[in-house]
Amino acid sequence: MSNRLAFVMVVAVCALVAAGCGSSDDSSDTTPTTEWADGLCSSITTWRSEITTIVNSLRGGNLTQDSLTAAVDDAEEATRNFTTELKGLGRPDTDAGQQAQDSVNELTTQIDEDMTKIQDAVSNASGVAGVIAAVPTITSTIQSAGNQVADTISGFEELDAKGELESAFKDADSCEDMR
C-alpha cells in the first residue's frame, strides 16, 4: 500500500519535471519577466523536493493512520507555502501577463481544493481499513495536482504570442534545475 502511494506521488512529481521550463542560455540580462519565471520555477522545484521527501518517508512500509496523517500534514504545509509563493509572484511583465497571473491564481485555487480533499480523506480514515480506503483518493488527488501544475505551465505557451514567457523561462536559472 505505501509503495503504491509513493509511486503515485513520484508520478505527480515527474509530471512537474516533464512540464519543464525550457533550456537555459547564459544571458546575463535579468528582466522582470525572467525574475517572474525564476520565482515560478523555484517554487515548483522546492515543492517538488518537499513532496519527494514526503514520498520517501512513506516508502519504509508500516503505513499507519498516524504516519499517513503526518505525511499529509507535511504535504499540506509544503503546498500552502507553494501556493503562497505563487500568489506572491504577481503578474509577469508581458502582454499576456494578466492572463498568466490568472492561470497561476486558478492553479493555486485548484491545489488548495486538492489538499482539502486529501485532508478530508485522512480525517475520515479510521483504522487499517480506513487508511486503505483513503489511499486511492489521496493518490489520485496528488496525481491531479501534478497534472494541474503541468497543464498551467503548458498553458503559458498559448498565452505567449510574442515568446516573452518562453524566453524568460529559458533565461531563468531556477528553471534550468527543473530539467
Q: If one looks up domain 2-14+30-176 in CATH, what number appears?
A: 1.20.120
| Residues in the chain, total | 179
pLDDT of residue 148: 92
- Mean of pLDDT values over 25-50: 84
pLDDT of residue 109: 94
Is the pLDDT at 26 greater than 80, yes or no? no
- For 87-109, the pLDDT digits (tens) are 999 999 898 999 999 999 999 99
CB–CB of 35/91 below 8 Å? Answer: no
Which residue bears the cell 505505501? 2
Confidence band, pLDDT 50/70/90 cuts, at residue 29: low
Is the pLDDT at 159 greater than 90, yes or no? no
- For 50-89, the pLDDT digits (tens) are 987 887 777 666 778 888 888 889 989 999 999 999 999 9
Confidence band, pLDDT 50/70/90 cuts, at residue 21: very low
Residue 145 CB coordination number (10 Å)? 28
